[in-house]
Homo-oligomer: A and B are copies of this chain.
Amino acid sequence: MTTDMDDKSARGEREQLILRAAMKVFTRKGFHKARMADIATEANVSYGLAYHYFESKDALFDSIQAWWWERLFKRLDEIALFRKPVSEKLEAIVAYLLDLYHEEPELVHVFITEMSRSSQTLTVESLNNFKRFIGSVDTMISLAQKKKQIRTDVRSRYLTYMFLGGLETVVSSMVLERQPLDNSQARDRLLKGVLDVFLTGALGRTSA
The chain A residues found within 8 Å of chain B, CB to CB, are 27, 29-33, 109, 112-114, 116-120, 122, 127, 141, 150-151, 153-155, 158-159, 161-170, 172-173, 176, 190, 193-194, 196-208
Contact = CB atoms under 8 A, between A and B. Distances in A.
Contacts of A114: 117-119
Contacts of A32: 32, 120
A123 to B, nearest CB: 12
Q: Which 5 A-B pairs have the closest CB atoms?
A: A208-B208, A165-B169, A201-B201, A151-B204, A30-B120
A195 B115 CA distance: 27
Contacts of A155: 193
A173 to B, nearest CB: 6
Contacts of A169: 161-162, 164-165, 168
Contact of A197 (B29, B112, B116, B154): B154
A193 B120 contact: no
